[in-house]
């Protein structure tokens, strides 16, 4: 294993593989993905895979809008089917206060370019008849939302055919420790990597990368 890398990514969950994909798209060619367990073995493994674009901030909304575009072409790009189903979603309000919040989110999201509309209770029930109308004040309909299989989506983003240039991220199967976020030396049980601009999506399940389980 070479002991240098342009970027070291800690964690082979959906976030780590997505970062590897996007860095590669930006022309980064020497990436190491370090995973202490198995690819997708963290919280990615447990996710339902619901993809909802109606968010409270511009950055989150745009990021998930980009994900939706990406999921639509993953099968074609990678040969792995992420089981992306663009069935749309409903955000329901059962109080006037909640409806007020949805109204605010919707007008904000429309300004961000999201395809979303407000529905009356009757319109929501027409779209999804199993909803009871008891306490239903209104809803938002997001037609381009959907669900995906988180494991296959992650596997697809790790798939070597995706990397275009013929160079794929190197995988290291080991816990990785760094001495703080900007450390220039990352250690695993099988050696050291330097200089690593460490990108770490891992702490969602791992605490800090400096303290692997
Ligand atoms: C029950 C449940 C349902 C969910 N449903 C949804 C949903 O419907 N929609 C949605 O968008 N989100 C959902 N989520 C949230 C979603 O699962 C997470 O946001 C997402 O999986 C986080 O991905 P990640 O790559 O950041 O983390 P993880 O998938 O946890 O990946 C982190 C990886 O890093 C590795 N790692 C950690 N430390 C080290 C180290 N020191 N060295 C080497 N490797 C290390 C771990 O082994 C792990 O594999 C759900 C979560 C749960 C638990």
Q: Rounded distance, CA 51 to CA 74, Å?
A: 15
pLDDT, one tens digit per residue, over 131-180 is 988 899 999 999 999 999 999 999 887 764 444 444 556 666 666 655 55
What is the whole-number distance in angstroms between the Cα of residue 142 and the centre of ligand 1?
Answer: 25
* pTM: predicted TM-score of the whole model, two decimal places: 0.83
What residue's CA is closest to ligand 1, atom 14? Answer: 47
8 versus 182: which is more confidently predicted? Answer: 8
Return mean pLDDT, the chain.
81
Q: Rounded distance, CA 149 to CA 155, Å?
A: 10
Give the CATH number for residue 76. 3.30.9.10
24 shares its domain with 109: no
Query: Tell me, what's the pLDDT at 144?
Result: 98
What residue's CA is closest to ligand 1, atom 13? Answer: 47
55 shares its domain with 43: no
How large is the C-alpha radius of gyration of the chain? Answer: 20
What residue's CA is closest to ligand 1, atom 12? Answer: 47
What is the whole-number distance in angstroms between the Cα of residue 34 and the centre of ligand 1?
Answer: 14
Q: Rounded distance, CA 2 to CA 191, Å?
A: 9
What is the whole-number distance in angstroms between the Cα of residue 201 and the centre of ligand 1?
Answer: 8
**Pure H helices in 6-158:** 14-25, 58-78, 96-111, 121-127, 150-158
Mean pLDDT is lowest, of 118-127, 131-140, 182-191, for 182-191
78 versus 151: which is more confidently predicted? Answer: 151
Domain count within the chain: 2
């Amino acid at each position: 294993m070479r002991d240098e890398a342009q970027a070291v990514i800690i964690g082979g969950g959906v976030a780590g593989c997505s970062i590897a994909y996007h860095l590669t798209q930006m022309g980064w060619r020497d990436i190491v993905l370090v995973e202490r367990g198995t690819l997708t073995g963290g919280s990615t493994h447990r996710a339902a895979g619901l993809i909802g674009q109606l968010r409270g901030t511009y950055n989150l909304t745009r990021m998930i809008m980009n994900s939706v575009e990406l999921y639509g072409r993953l099968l074609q790009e990678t040969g792995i089917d992420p089981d992306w189903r663009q069935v749309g979603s409903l955000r329901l309000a059962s109080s006037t206060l909640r409806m007020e919040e949805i109204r605010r989110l919707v007008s904000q999201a429309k300004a961000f370019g999201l395809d979303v509309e407000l529905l009356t209770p009757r319109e929501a029930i027409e779209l999804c008849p199993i909803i009871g109308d008891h306490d239903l004040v209104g809803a938002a309909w997001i037609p381009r939302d959907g669900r995906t299989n988180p494991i296959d989506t992650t596997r697809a983003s790790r798939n070597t055919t995706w990397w275009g240039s013929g160079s794929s991220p190197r995988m290291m199967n080991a816990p990785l420790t760094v001495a703080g976020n900007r450390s220039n030396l990352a250690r695993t049980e099988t050696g050291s990597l330097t200089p690593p601009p460490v990108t770490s999506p891992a702490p969602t399940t791992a605490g800090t990368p400096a303290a692997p389980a």
